[in-house]
A and B are shown apart, each in its own frame.
Chain A
C-alpha cells in the first residue's frame, strides 16, 4: 500500500465547468494554499446503478464556512462521502489538500468528519468515544485531548452514561467533538445542526463560525435555508445531484425573489380582482377558482405593494393569501430548471 508510489491524481484544475469561479473565497494570504485548494471537486459524477446521485459537479473551497444546501436526496452526503474517501467517484476527482483520501490514508488525519447517521459506539461513554477517535488519529494524550474537545461542545467529560442513552442533540455534539479531536484542517459536517435545540444550534453555529474564521475549511450541509443564512457562509446549492447555484446568502435570496411565485388569494370577488391584477400586469396566468384566484407573479415586491390598494379600490374583501410554492423544494426545482 505505497501511497507515495501511486501516480499523482490527474491534475484537473480546469475552471469548474459552468460555474462562476468567484464563489470561492480568496485565500487569506499568499501561502502555498493558493495553488492547492483545501477542497477540490472536479467533474465528479457518482452513480449507484441507475440512480445518479451526483452529476458532473465541480467546485473548489478555501478557508471559511461553505454550506452545501439541498433538499433530501440531492446528493449532499454522497459528495461528502467521496470527499472523505468513503466512496469512489464514478467519474472525476475529489481532493482534500490536494490528496485523494480514498488512496491516501495519511490525509484522513487532517479531516474531521461529522457523518449524517446517528450511530455511535453505543456502549462507550462520550469521553471514551472521543478518546477512540483521538487514538485512531494517533494523538498523544488522548484522554486530555478528548476531555478538551468535549468541553468545546458543552459536554461533560466526566459523564459515565453510555452515548447510546444520549439524546439526539447530545449525540450530534459527541460526533462533532470526535470530528474536532485531531484539530483538522478540513471539517466536513453532514447536517450537524439536526436535532439540536435552538440554544445549542446557536452555540454550534458560533463554533462553526469561529472555526471558519480561524482559517479552517468548514463544509456544512443542510436543507434549511435559514440555518445556512445564520452560518453566514458561502453557499453551494445542490439539487438532483447537480450544482444549481453558488453565492452568498444575499445572492441566493435575490435569485429566489426573482423567480415566479404562485399565489392563492381567497376573496369574495375573484373575477374582478383577477381582471384588475392582469390589467395592471402584476400577475400573469390568472385562474379563477370558486372562492379565489390563483396566479403567478415575477415581481413579488410590486405585488405586495399593490394588492391592498387594488382591493380597496375594487371594494373586494381579501380573505386570505397563501404563497403556494414558498417551500424550499420549489425554490430548488426552480434553480435546477432555470
Chain B
C-alpha cells in the first residue's frame, strides 16, 4: 500500500486541518440562516389551519421532503463537501497534504469526515426542529432525523469527490441538486434511481406511511445505497486525487 504514514493518524490530521479551514464564520452564518428559514416555513405551516390529522401529516411531510430534503440539505452538504478539498486545491494549500508520504485515501477520507461533521448539525438540527414545529407527530420527527443524517453522509462523499473532479464543482453541484434531483428525477424512473433525495424520502415514507416523491425503496435498501454511494465516491475521489495536477 502506498504511503508510509499510518492511515488512521493521517486521516485524523487531515480531518482536523480541513475542519478548521471549513469553519469560516461567513459560511456558518449563511448556511445557518438557510436552516432557520426552513424552520420559519415549518412553523407557519405547523401553526396554520388544520384540515385533518391525516391531511396535516401529508402537508408536513411535504414540507420536509420538498423543502428541507430538496434544497436545504443538499445545498449545505454541497458547500462543505466541495469546499473540503476544493478550497485547498484553489488556494494552493493542497500541496501541504499532497507532497507527503500519505495514502490519498486518508486525505479524501479526512476531508469527507470534516465535511460531514460540520454539515451534520447544520442540517440535522434545523431539519428535526422543523419536523417538531410542523407538529405532525413524533414519527415524522424521527423519520426526518434518521433520513437527513444518513443522506448527509452520502451527499458529503459525492460532493467531496465533485470538489476535486472539477473547478466548477459548486455550479455543477447546484445543477445536479436543483435540475437533476429537483426536476429531471421526477420525470422518469431511471432518473429517480440516480437521485439521492429519493432514498431519503423512502426512509420518511417507510416510517410515516405518507407517500413521497421518488420514494420507492425500503429503508434498508436506502441505507445500503447510501453506503455504496459513499464508498464508491470516496474511492473515485482518491483515485482522482492521485492523478490531479496540483498548483
Residues of A that sit less than 8 Å from B by CB = 1-3, 81, 84-88, 101, 105-109, 111, 113, 115, 117-124, 132-133, 135-138, 178
Contacts and interface: CB of A to CB of B under 8 A. Distances in A.
B17 interface: yes
Interface centre among B5, B100, B242 (most CB of A within 10 A): B100
Nearest to A134: B13
Given A88-B245, A136-B10, A115 B100 contact: no
Interface in B56-101: 91-93, 95-101
B102 interface: yes
Given A108-B100, A108-B101, A138 B5 contact: yes
B2 A1 contact: yes
Interface residues of B, number: 32
Interface residues of A, dominant DSSP: loop
B1 interface: yes
A105 B102 contact: yes
A138 B106 CA distance: 13
A178 B93 CA distance: 12
Nearest to A116: B92
A220 B20 CA distance: 31
Given A105-B4, A106-B2, A136-B10, 13 more contacts: A3-B2, A108-B100, A113-B99, A115-B92, A118-B92, A119-B92, A120-B93, A121-B20, A135-B5, A137-B100, A138-B9, A138-B10, A138-B101
Contacts of B92: 115, 117-119
Interface in B27-46: none
A178 B100 contact: no
Interface string B103-119: 10000000000000000
Contacts of A109: 4, 100-101
A1 B103 contact: yes
Nearest to A3: B2
B21 interface: yes
B121 interface: no
B98 A86 contact: yes
Given A1-B2, A119-B93, A136 B20 contact: no
B5 A86 contact: no
B246 A86 contact: yes
Contact of B20 (A108, A117, A118, A124): A124
B167 to A, nearest CB: 14
Interface string B217-243: 000000000000000000000000011
Nearest to A175: B96
A105 B103 contact: yes
B5 A108 contact: no
A93 to B, nearest CB: 17
Contacts of A1: 1-2, 103, 242
Looking at A107, A136, A138, the one whose CB has the most chain B CB atoms below 10 A away is A136
Nearest to A85: B99
A123 B95 contact: no
A150 to B, nearest CB: 16
B99 A108 contact: yes
B17 A124 contact: yes
A89 to B, nearest CB: 11
Contacts of A84: 95, 99
Contacts of B5: 135-138
11 contacts: A1-B1, A1-B242, A81-B245, A86-B98, A105-B2, A108-B99, A108-B100, A111-B99, A113-B95, A119-B92, A135-B10
